Amino acid sequence: MSASKRGVTPEQLRQAAKDLNLTVAAIAEGTGLSKAYISEFRNETRNLSASQQAQLRTYLEAQYEEQGQDFPEAQDTSDQDLLQGLGGMVKRITRPAILLSEDVPAAQAEKLADLIEANRLKVGDILNTEFATGGFFGGEFSEATENAIREIFALLALNYVAILMLQGRNIARKLPEGAQPKTMGDWLSGYLAASPLADLLPEADPADAEAEAA
């Protein structure tokens, strides 16, 4: 695999900007990528797709070559080589740190990532609340504690579904209005239709939708 086909790390980008006295605007103009993407990638708050990283690396290598310098290789490129070896099917994002399907639109990925982070923070808040036993009937949990436990598992389940969606492995979909569940998968889809994931669920396959409506 040639060097120009490999990606670039945020550290390499920062080093290149320093070595070559390149601004974000200059890099954006030279690569055709947006200034926001380059800035966020440099600050490690966004990752670029394999093709975008290849564009960036090609540009930086050309700039180094003009200056008679070598492109600074990363100390450990094993992860990057692994991702490239997957043929561009997946890319790494920094929030959350999982592999993201190339088929997931960037806007949807951002919304899913935001939801996952918001749910994580909610779980953290709940875990800091008091654990109380008893209740009116002397049960193992108080009503408030039981509700908190239910909410924790509901939030964790939502995050699991959201992570699968980021990976392109959807287990739920939007069902036609009024459709009755025929499988547990249909029930789950209907349940999630009333959750924060509702607007992010993929559309049902047209053939399946017609069959369910019949």
Which of 167, 150, 165, 169 has the alpha carbon at shortest distance from 199?
Answer: 165
For residues 70 and 143, membership in a common domain is answered with: no
24 in a structural domain: yes
* Mean pLDDT across the chain: 80
Indicate the number of domains in the chain: 2
Concatenating the DSSP letter of every residue in 65-94 gives HHTT------S--HHHHHHHHTTTSEEE-S
3 vs 43, which has greater pLDDT? Answer: 43
Q: Examine the domain organization and report whether 122 and 162 are in the same domain.
A: yes
What's the pTM value of the predicted model, to 2 decimals? 0.52
Instruction: Kindly state whether residues 80 and 130 are assigned to the same domain.
Output: no
C-alpha distances (whole Å) from 77 to each of 9, 10, 50, 82 are: 9, 12, 14, 8
Residue 87 — pLDDT band, cuts 50, 70, 90? very low
